[in-house]
Amino acid sequence: MPTFERIQGAVYCDGLSLAELATRFGTPLYTYDGGAIAARYREVEDAFRDYPHRLHYALKANSTLGIARLLRSLGAAADANSVGEIDVALRAGFAPAEIVFTGVGKTDAELERAIGLGLRSINAESEGEIERIDAIATARGVKARVAVRVNPDIDAKSHPHISTGLKTNKFGVAIADAREMCLRMRGRSGVQIVGLHSHVGSQITQLEPLQRAAEALVALAAELRDAGVAVEHLDIGGGLGIPYEGQRVPTAAEYAASVLPIVRESGLNLILEPGRFLVGQAGMLVTRVVDIKPQAGGKLFVIVDAGMTELMRPMLYGAYHRIEHALAVDRPAAICDIVGPVCETTDTLGKDRSLPRPEVADLLVVFDAGAYGAVMASNYNRRPMPAEVLVKDGEATVIRRRQTFDDLIALES
Ligand SMILES: Cc1ncc(COP(=O)(O)O)c(C=O)c1O
């Protein structure tokens, strides 16, 4: 995927030098390659083209309006995880019938909104949630379209913090209880069970857990059909991983080849909810070196102007991101801990990295930062949220301006 190239040693995104973008827009700066997102989207579409399906882009990965709009323009539908994400989807132009709404702990207010909009489906996480949907929809005189999120008790073999499909995880209705629960719910006046859903984790790099989850949904759909409950769709969630450390990961074609033979026998429409796979590798975080401090043993602390407030993944679940100089630098290598300015020891973007010895004012690029990056940014230490730039057809557009102190304090009295 052509997310970036080096020209005479400098990192370029679709013909624009990241160093020039940093001068123009400041740092820390998120830069996204729109062409790379489009290429990825087409890759997944192509892989599934011979089976009735729809890609519902998981907004949680990156819901900046410009990214949501880009995905919509490519033909995606949306997967929202909160009313805030539903509102982003609507603002980006997605129709309610193109939105599925997932999430543990949906409040009554959120359900009211979702039911009122008439979404493609509310992916319900428990019997209690379906009861509440039924009560709200019945009071409104409508039938809500509900898919049951099933917890298939499958180990996604990903990081424990981003695994969601084990029975010890808080997500979904236990597979053993799902059939009986659907049968109990079928007579409800406010609910129509239209689908079955599962999402067993994120950054999954082996296909077997995704296959087993699809098998579980297909088997449950058949049992329900035999018992008189016919669903319209199977939603197999997202989860496909990307090669943060250069490891071999499944391609979209391999993913399709492994799940389609399983799903095909059901004849049901397929929903996919990819997030990271579509946008992860298309994002780069550009950061400037603020200070250098020697450590005992010859290592360096390279203190940069981005940290856990801009990119939380390394601190949240020990995630690895490649970090390199943005420009050609001809200096001897040094072993570096690349750390942010936030007042927390965990504020380390990369440990023990060998880089041409960095100097103050150098620019570094943190790669593969397009998913679960900017969306998790915070104002901790009263740091303003970074700017985000989308590069498309050789042009850079600010899709989120850098937060000012006035923005940051605006809600306070
Ligand atoms: C229900 C659901 N769908 C889709 C996704 C997107 O996952 P990914 O970005 O790994 O494709 C997630 C993320 O955890 C999720 O919880």
pLDDT digits (tens, 9 = 90+) for 283-326: 999 999 999 999 999 999 999 999 999 999 999 999 999 999 99
| Ligand 1 binding pocket includes 275 (Cβ within 6 Å) | yes
Pocket test for ligand 1, best of 37, 43, 59, 60 (most atoms within 8 A of CB): 60
- Amino acid of residue 117: L
Count of other CB atoms within 10 angstroms of residue 269 = 17
163 lines ligand 1 (CB under 6 A): no
Which residues are within 8 A (CB) of 98 and not within 5 positions of it... i.e. 6 or more apart?
54, 56, 77, 78, 89, 120
Q: What is the mean pLDDT of residues 51-58?
A: 98
Give the model's pLDDT for residue 94: 98
| 265 CA to centre of ligand 1 in angstroms | 25
Residue nearest to atom 13 of ligand 1 (CA): 202
Its pTM stands at 0.96
Closest-lying ligand 1 atom to the alpha carbon of residue 275: 9
Task: Summarize pLDDT for 171-225 with one digit per residue, the tens.
Answer: 788 888 899 999 999 889 999 999 999 998 899 999 999 999 999 999 999 999 9
Q: DSSP characters for 357-404?
A: ---TT-EEEE-S-SSSSGGG---GGGPPPPEEEEEETTEEEEEEPPPP
Name the residue at shortest CA distance from atom 12 of ligand 1.
238
For residue 372, give the ligand 1 atom closest to its CA.
9
- Has residue 97 got a pLDDT over 70? yes
Q: Is 273 in the pocket of ligand 1 (CB under 6 A)?
A: yes
pLDDT at 187: 86
Q: Is the CB of 198 under 6 A from ligand 1?
A: no
